[in-house]
Copies of this chain bind each other. A is one copy, B any other.
Amino acid sequence: MVHRAPIKALAFDVFGTVVDWRSGIAREAAPFLARLNRGDIDPHRFADGWRKRYQPALEEVRSGRRPFVILDTLHREALEDLLRHHAIDPATLDEAALVDLTHAWHRLDPWRDSVEGLTRLKAAFPIVTLSNGNIALMLEMARRAGLPWDAILGAEVSRIYKPLPESYLATARFLGIAPGELCLVAAHHSDLAAARAAGLQTAYVDRPQEYGGRPAPDADAAQDWDYSVDSLTRLADELCR
C-alpha cells in the first residue's frame, strides 16, 4: 500500500468530466446550421470537429509561440476554421450569431451525477475548477448548471494551459497546499498522467458517453489511478466516508 498524503482539495477537469460538451454543442449547433440550410452537417460531428480543432491552437500558446489568450478566443477561431472547412464563409455571417454560438461552450449541461456529487464532495473538501476554460465561461456555466465551485482556477488564473506541469503546480500554490495534497478529478488519462507527473493525486471518472460511445482518443494512456469511479457521486462515496 502506497502512502498518500491526506487530500486537502479537489481540482476538477470540467469539459467531459463534469459537463457533456458534445451534446451541448450539438444542441446549439443544430439550429445554427439549419438557419444556414446546412442540415446535411451532423451537429454531433460538428461538435467533434470543433473540439478537435482548438488543440493545435492551444499548443501554439503552450509552446510560447503565441502569448496567452483565453479559450473563448480559441473557440471562436476554431469555429471560423470549422465553418470554412464546411464551405461556409464566416465573414458572411452575423457577428452576434457567431458570438452566441461560441458561447454555447458556456451553456453545457452537467452529467446527471455532477451537481449531487460536487455538492457532497464540497462538504468535505474545497472544490475548484482546473480547466482550460476561461473565467467567464466557467462562471456562466456554473451559474446556469448549479455547479457549486469554491473557486474558479485553471488556465486564465495561472496563464498556463494544461497539461503543462505548471498548470497543476500553480493550482496547488493558489490553494496554499502541496501538490501531493491536491487531487485532480478527470475523465481523461492524459490529463491525469500529467497531474501525476507533477505530484498530484489522481481520480479517474469514466464518462463513456463523452464521445457518443466511441473510445476516447487517449484510451491507451490509462494507468492505475489513485481512485477510479464511474460518477462523482461514487467519488463522494469513496472520499467522504
> Which B residues lie within 8 Å of A67 (CB)?
none
> Which B residues lie within 8 Å of A128 (CB)?
139
| B175 x A135 contact (CB < 8 A) | yes
Q: Is A100 an interface residue (CB 8 A)?
A: no
Q: Is A176 an interface residue (CB 8 A)?
A: yes
Q: A189: shortest Cβ distance to chain B, in Å?
A: 28
| A72 x B176 contact (CB < 8 A) | yes
Q: Is A47 an interface residue (CB 8 A)?
A: no
B-contact bits for A140-151, CB 8 A (1 contact / 0 none): 001100000111
| B135 x A151 contact (CB < 8 A) | yes
> Which B residues lie within 8 Å of A151 (CB)?
135, 138-139, 149, 151-152
Q: How many copies does the complex hold?
A: 2
Q: Is A178 an interface residue (CB 8 A)?
A: no
| A174 x B143 contact (CB < 8 A) | no
| A174 x B136 contact (CB < 8 A) | yes
User: For the complex, what is the distance from the CA of A79 to the CA of B174, rounded to whole Å?
Assistant: 22
B-contact bits for A80-91, CB 8 A (1 contact / 0 none): 000000000000
Q: Which residue of B lies closest to A148 (CB)?
A: B148
> Which B residues lie within 8 Å of A149 (CB)?
151
Which residues of chain A (83-132) have a CB below 8 Å from chain B? 126, 128
| B139 x A175 contact (CB < 8 A) | yes
Q: Is A13 an interface residue (CB 8 A)?
A: no
Q: Is A157 an interface residue (CB 8 A)?
A: yes
| B139 x A143 contact (CB < 8 A) | no
**Given A72-B176, A139-B151: 14 more A-B contacts, CB < 8 Å:** A126-B139, A126-B143, A128-B139, A134-B174, A135-B157, A135-B174, A136-B174, A139-B150, A139-B175, A142-B150, A149-B151, A151-B151, A152-B152, A156-B174
